[in-house]
Chain A
Amino acid sequence: MKGTYLGEFQEIVLLTILVLDENAYGVSIQDEISRRTKREISRGALHTALTRLDEKGFIKSRFGGATAERGGRRKRYYQVTNLGRNALQEAKSIRDELWNMIPKLGIQGQ
């Protein structure tokens, strides 16, 4: 089904949320991804990915505490749902299967 397809970026976002566990909100996710992938991602791109994941039912969110540096605005914390975990598992198993089928792994000389 097209609706449950997990894009590469979306997969990274899901994994990052799991990594961050209790502390997964906008800025922390953004920072974590930047740190891991060594590439600057915009809040806009992240927003789109989060919205899509939410639409698919892979994540849920709740409002958390506000801080002064946020201008008194609350954070929205994200959590991966069971559906999201399943989707991740499935993506991983497909990959593993493919990896296992490769006869020789290693960088080949020209």
Chain B
Amino acid sequence: MRKRNQPPLILKRFFEWFCNEEYFEELQGDLEEKFHQRTQSIGIRRARLAYGKEVMKLFRPSVFKRIKFKYSNNTAMFRNYTLVAYRNLLRNKLFSVINIIGLAISMAVGLIAIAFVSEIYSYDNFHENSNRIYRVTTDLHRNNGETSEYATASVFAGRRLATDFAGFEAVAPITKGLSSNIKKGESTISVQGIYADNSFFKVLTFPFLSGNPETALNEPNSIVLTESTARKLFSKTDVVGETLQWRKDSPVKVTGVLKDPPKNSHIRFDAIGSLETLDDRNSSSVNDFGVIWSSYVYVLLPEQHDMEQIQANLNQLAKEENPKLKYWQFSMGLEKLSDIFPGNGRYNQFGTVMPKKKVRSMIILALIVLFSACFNYTNLSLARSIKRAKEIGVRKVVGASKTHLFMQFILEAVLVSILALVLSYWLFQLIKPEFLSLDFYIQRTTTLDLSASVYLYFLLFAVVIGFLAGLFPSLLMTKFRPVNILKGAVSVKTSKGLSARQVLVCIQFALSMGFATLVTMAYKQYQYALNFDLGFSTENVLNVDMQSNDPEILKTEFLAIPEVSGVSSSSILPSTGSSMSNYVKHKDPQDSVNAFTLDIGPDYLNNMGHQLVAGPGFEEADLSNKAIVNQMFLKKIGINTPEEAIGEQVSFFQKNWTIVGVIKDFHHGTINDPIEAFVFTTGRQDHYHINVKLSTNDIVGTMSKLDEAWQKVDPVKPFSAKFYDELIQDTYSDISASLKTFGLLSGIAICISILGLLGMAVYTAESRIKELAIRKVLGATITNLLMLLGKNFMIIFLLSASVAIPLAYYVYQKTIVSDAVYQISVGFWELANGALLIIVIAILTICSQTLRAARTNPAENLRNE
């Protein structure tokens, strides 16, 4: 029953909870007296209300309990924990070093991942309304049912959206292609940029240093420069109103200067020209719905927007304009600004876009390595927990609660991980350049420059890692019962902990073996791709970039050098990933074959070591409309023997060609492409490469001679050439990139797991030292002892290998060779190499420790009890 003449109990309790003891008696007394006084004067109900008001008004800092004062005892305990942790680190130097190094190595990978991911996800977040900015994308549907997804949309479509459709706060069509030399008096600089109108600054945030964003791009032939472009041209930034010359020396007026786009902007430019300029030139890039290839439409949606309505508008626009298109139809959609970078691989992105898949796999790989290192800590702590059982027992007896002990062990782990962080930061700086050169995307988009927030993430990361690593052992150790510990009962057997440890070791080794197997296979495949028998000779062939010089003059100059044994020219270089294809018709005009084509100089086939199967080949006397085909071509088009083919007519490039030769099939694509029909033509004169065959051992000397010859022909542009083999290497850079990644990771994973194993082996040998001594006294040989200690580990290794190898093979098939037509045959050695290597290293590690224990005089170990 509630006491009628009492203040509300809950408020009383509340007051008691927050009020400082020093004031409590006085204040509570006063409150209650006042309450009774009020019950008399204004009645119980209002008195209760007034009481509540009083309590609330007492809820102020000067009345609160002194929290620091109350818990001051705990800071002392924390100090003690830190001290004990520190002493523990020093006492077990080997384990501490293993833990710290192992964690540091893997944390370096974690740091890279954090820096990388935070950089990638900071892209475009500087725009004021970034959550309302979208980009219009276009899907191109071909008549044969194929669809290509483009990141682009035509300026025409953008303009129609702005004028004819509601639902957008602002629409900014832009187009790339401002690429010109801008002149100011005598000085000229080359500028890459975009064309846009004023709405560009409404949608996206690129602040002006001077000029008016409302009017800057109104007039044709006006240009807005970035700060650094302005500095390059004028050495100052207040240049609004100045006149420059661009395209054919026509004047262009500077109407604004922008801050440079930040490095985390996917849109980059040196200057922005007004779209009106293109209207003035009547360019198809602004007035044709079908020209989407390098223009983009960014839109700002209002706070309240109806996506369905907007999509319906886009569909309506496509419906109205699609009839203008002949070969395909467009459909349009919206893409959030945050989905652009990292992106999902639409064609014709503004710049290089990091694929989302790459970011994800990066995170996963980093996590795997991190877990592996956490396991080490967990494992070694578990193994040593028995040694610390006494400490736990005593602490419990003198009154430590589970929470306190838990805190202590977590604190220890965090301390270790923070020490590891220092080391890993150093490692991070060491591997940073390696990582940045890892692959194309990373090179183009990432700097790994660290901001203040990233440092904070690093610290947070270390604490989290420490917590995770320490979690399991802390939970286990706090469960020890003090009675058992102090009696000495725990030290006999903890079979529970042992099995958990075995599982952890097993996972760790499975990871190392998996990575090692992957690396082995990737390496073999890479070597295979490089040494692939292409069917023609690439050896000692130097490909010179013609840079629009006359091939005949160059050829003559090069041939004059004695070390040059042959010279030819070609339009593209087969087997390096680039190709051209065309539909070729034979007799039946309805029946055509898709054939790859290559235009070559007449000497090419001979120079590159192609083998003619039939026919005379290209003869200097008559080169007009002659073609040479490969055997696959005959098969596809239905001609039975090479001899029959000579003299046949085929048509492509709107011309008729006479077959004058058949060559043996060769690999014109990469290992990802099967052999297809192939046609060599000659005389079309759009050649870009000169193939110089060298027969010399003095590469450097010959190169300088070639350079001299080049200087005679073209004194302005520098000589640029690459060996065919190098070009092929570049073609397979994606395999070499994954090879590097997996190589690095497997190195790290192996390091960590061997370190962990070393710790385990030391521990096992130490804890069973008496047993070993007794066995030795009773006549066991060293081999027996090795077997005894090694047996358990062997089982773990075999188990790991049996999990890791199939998994590695699966990943290999799914990633590295997913597109390959030609690949290595994977046999026992490819699969087992990595695992065997690790097992050997592991056994050596165990043996070294066991031998040390087994070799000592048993009397030494048995003397003291």
Distance in angstroms from A96 CB to nearest chain B CB is 33
Asked if A74 meets B34 with Cβ closer than 8 Å, knowing A48-B62, A51-B62, the reply is: no
Q: Which of A25, A27, A66 gathers most chain B CB within 10 Å? A: A27
In whole angstroms, what is the CA distance A26 to B23 when docked?
11
A45–B37 alpha-carbon span in the complex (Å): 19
A76 touches B26 (CB 8 A): yes
Closest to B25 in A: A73
Among candidates A30, A44, A69, residue contacting B58 with C-beta atoms closer than 8 Å: A44
Measured CA separation A25–B28 after assembly (Å): 13
**A110 touches B (CB below 8 Å):** no
Contact B28 A71 (CB under 8 A): yes
CA distance A74 to B32 in the complex (A): 11
Does B796 belong to the interface (CB within 8 Å)? no
Alpha-carbon gap, A76 to B27, bound state (A)? 9
Find residues 642-668 in chain B having any chain A CB closer than 8 Å to their own CB. none
Q: How far is the CB of A29 from chain B (nearest CB, A)?
A: 9
A27 to B37, CA, bound (A): 10
The residue that A45 contacts in the complex, of B31, B32, B34, B57, with Cβ under 8 A, is B57
CB contact list, B1-45 vs A, under 8 A: 23, 25-34, 36-37
Docked complex Cα distance between A26 and B32 (Å): 11
Give every chain A residue within 8 A of B25 (Cβ-Cβ): 73-74, 76
How far is B568's CA from A60's CA once the two chains are assembled, in angstroms? 108
Mark interface residues in A25-43 (1 if CB within 8 Å of B CB, else 0): 1110011000000000011
Name the contact of A74 in the complex, choosing from B26, B31, B53 (C-beta under 8 A): B26
Tell me, rounded to whole Å, the shortest Cβ–Cβ distance linking A62 to chain B: 11
**B454 at the A interface (CB under 8 A):** no
Kindly list chain A residues whose C-beta atoms are within 8 Å of the C-beta of B31.
43
Q: Mark A60-73, 1 if CB is under 8 A from B, else 0.
A: 00000011011101
Complex CA gap A25/B27 in Å reads 10
Nearest CB of chain B from residue A64's CB, rounded to whole Å: 10
**Contact of A69 with B27 at beta-carbon distance under 8 Å, contacts A27-B37, A42-B53, A44-B58 already known:** no
List B contacts of A31 (CB < 8 A).
37
Question: Which of chain B's residues has its CB closest to A55's CB?
Answer: B62
State A19–B31 Cα separation when bound (angstroms): 22
By beta carbon, the residue of chain B nearest A43 is B54
* A25: B residues at CB distance < 8 A: 30
In the complex the two chains form, is A43's CB within 8 Å of B58's CB? yes
Interface of B is mostly: helix
In the complex, the answer to whether B33 meets A67 with C-beta atoms within 8 Å is: yes
Q: Does B326 count as interface, using CB distance less than 8 angstroms?
A: no
Are the C-beta atoms of B33 and A69 separated by less than 8 Å? yes
Residues facing B in A59-97 (CB within 8 A) are 66-67, 69-71, 73-76
* Residue B60 CB within 8 A of the other chain: yes
Question: Quick one: closest B residue to A61, CB to CB?
Answer: B26
Interchain CA distance A27-B34 in the complex, whole Å: 6
Tally of chain B residues near chain A (CB < 8 A): 21
B54 contacts which chain A residues (CB < 8 A)? 42-44
Contact A42 B33 (CB under 8 A): no
A71-B29 contact given A30-B34, A43-B34, A47-B23, CB 8 Å threshold: yes
CB contacts (< 8 Å) of A73 on chain B: these are: 25-26, 28-29, 32
Would you call A26 and B28 a contact (CB within 8 A)? no
Q: How far is the CA of A73 from the CA of B59 in the complex (A)?
A: 20
Q: Which of A27, A44, A47, A48 contacts B33 (CB 8 A)?
A: A27
A47 contacts B29, C-beta separation under 8 Å: no
Contacting A at CB under 8 A, from B259-280, are none
Q: Is the CB of B29 within 8 A of A43?
A: no
Instruction: Give chain B nearest CB distance to A87 CB in angstroms.
Output: 21
Chain B residues contacting A48 (CB-CB under 8 Å) are: 60, 62
Our pick among B33, B57, B62 for the contact of A70 (Cβ within 8 Å) is: B33
Q: Is B63 an interface residue (CB 8 A)?
A: yes
Q: How far is the CA of A25 from the CA of B31 in the complex (A)?
A: 12
Inside 8 A of A71's CB, which chain B residues have their CB?
A: 28-29, 32
Q: CA separation between A45 and B27, bound complex, in Å?
A: 12
Residue of B nearest to A70 (CB): B29
Contacts of A44 in B (CB 8 A): 54, 57-60, 63
| Chain A proximity of B263: nearest CB distance (Å) | 51
Bound-state Cα–Cα, A30 to B36, Å: 14
Asked if B57 and A75 sit within 8 Å, CB to CB, the answer is: no
Q: List the A side residues contacting B53 at CB < 8 Å.
A: 42
Bound: A40/B452 CA distance, A: 52
A14–B465 alpha-carbon span in the complex (Å): 58
**Nearest CB of chain B from residue A33's CB, rounded to whole Å:** 13
Q: Which residues of B contact A76 (CB under 8 A)?
A: 25-26
Q: Which of A30, A51, A73, A76 has the most CB of B within 10 A?
A: A73
Choice from B30, B36, B62 contacting A43 with Cβ under 8 Å: B30
A75 CA / B53 CA spacing, docked (Å): 21
Across-interface contacts of B33 in A (CB, < 8 A): 26-27, 67, 69-70
Bound-state CA distance A42–B5 (Å) is 21
- Neighbouring A residues of B26 by C-beta, 8 Å: 26, 73-76
Q: Chain A contacts of B29 at CB under 8 A?
A: 26, 66, 70-71, 73-75
Complex-state Cα separation, A26 to B27, whole angstroms: 8
Rounded to whole Å, the gap between the CB of A104 and the closest CB of chain B is 42
Distance in angstroms between the alpha carbons of A70 and B36 in the assembled complex: 9
* Interchain CB contact under 8 A, A27 and B60: no
By a CB distance below 8 angstroms, the chain B residues around A66 are 29
Cα(A91)–Cα(B439), bound, Å: 79
Query: How many angstroms between the C-alpha atoms of A30 and B62 in the bound complex?
Result: 18
A71 to chain B, nearest CB (A): 5
In the bound complex, CA of A51 to CA of B29 (Å): 17
| A-side contacts of B30, CB under 8 Å | 25-27, 30, 43, 70, 75
Can you offer 15 A-B residue contacts whose CB atoms are under 8 A?
Answer: A26-B27, A27-B37, A30-B34, A42-B58, A43-B57, A44-B57, A44-B59, A44-B63, A45-B57, A47-B27, A69-B32, A69-B36, A71-B29, A74-B25, A76-B26
Beyond A26-B27, A69-B33, list 8 extra A-B contacts (CB 8 Å).
A42-B53, A42-B58, A43-B57, A44-B54, A44-B57, A47-B60, A70-B29, A74-B25
Task: Report the 10 A-B pairs with minimum CB-CB distance, sorted nearest first.
Answer: A73-B29, A26-B30, A44-B57, A42-B57, A70-B29, A44-B58, A76-B26, A69-B36, A27-B33, A70-B33
